[in-house]
Amino acid sequence: MIQGTPPVFLSKAFRGTAALCLGLLFWLGVTSPTRAAEPDSTNFPERLKLWGGYQHLFGLDARYRFDGPQAGIGTTFDFGKDLGGETSDHMARAGAHFRLTPNHAIGFSRYAINLRGDRTILDVDLTIDDVIFSAQGNITSQIGLTIYRLFYD
C-alpha cells in the first residue's frame, strides 16, 4: 500500500459499506431462505442473460506511484489533486451470465475507464519512473483502465 495511508479495508467508508452489505445479506438470508430459492412462478427464462448499458463513474479517488531503476521509489501523487485529473466518466458496460444448472452459473462483464488531466505542478517535483517533472511545470496526463470480471456463482 502507499506509504502513510491506511489499508483501504480500514477506511471508514469501506467499513460502513461492508457493514451495510453484511446487514443486507443477513436480512435477505434470514428472512427469506425459501423464497430466494423458489423457481419463478411465471417461468421466465433464466438460462442465458446478455446485458449491456450505460455506466456513470463518479467520486474517483486515485493515487499512484511508479518506481524506476535509478530514482528508486517514485513520488506518490493524487491524480485529481496533483494532476488536475477528472474524477468522473461515463462508458458502456456489457456482460453475460450463463446458468449451467439451477444452482451454478458463470458471469462476465467488461468496462473501460478513460480519464484526462491537465495541470501545472504547484509545489514539488514529481518523479515518475525516473523522469522528474519539475515544480511549476505543466503536465498533461491520461489514464485508462479496462476491467474484465469473471465469476462463478
Partner 1 sequence: MSPGIYLGDFNAEFLGSATIRVGNIPPVSEAATVTETLFVPLPTIGIGLEYRISPRLKIQTRTDFFYVNVKQVEGSLAEFTVGLEYRLFKHFAVGATFNRLWLDLDWKPGSPDGWAVQSSWNNGLFYGALYF
Residues between 103 and 142 that touch partner 1 (CB under 8 A):
111, 121, 125, 128-134, 137-142
C-alpha to C-alpha distance for 2 and 51, rounded to whole angstroms: 36
Q: Are 2 and 77 in contact (CB under 8 A)?
A: no
Rounded to 5 degrees, what angle do the CA atoms 75, 80, 86 make? 135
Binding mask 22-51 for partner 1 (x = CB under 8 A): --xx--xx--x--xx-x-xxx-xxxxxxxx
Dihedral angle sign, alpha carbons of residues 111, 116, 122, 124 = positive
Give whichever of 59 and 102 is closer to partner 1, judged by the CB atom: 59
Amino acid code (one letter) for 132? I
| Number of residues forming the site for partner 1 (CB under 8 A) | 84
Least distance to partner 1, CB of residue 48, Å: 4
Q: Are 97 and 131 in contact (CB under 8 A)?
A: no
Q: Are 94 and 109 in contact (CB under 8 A)?
A: yes
Give whichever of 71 and 81 is closer to partner 1, judged by the CB atom: 71
Least distance to partner 1, CB of residue 122, Å: 13
Binding mask 50-89 for partner 1 (x = CB under 8 A): xxxxxxxxxxxxxxxxxxxxxxxx--x------x------
Least distance to partner 1, CB of residue 123, Å: 15
CA distances from 99 to 11, 42, 108 (A): 36, 18, 12
Least distance to partner 1, CB of residue 142, Å: 5
Least distance to partner 1, CB of residue 87, Å: 8
Give whichever of 60 and 81 is closer to partner 1, judged by the CB atom: 60
- The grid coordinates listed for 138 are 505543466
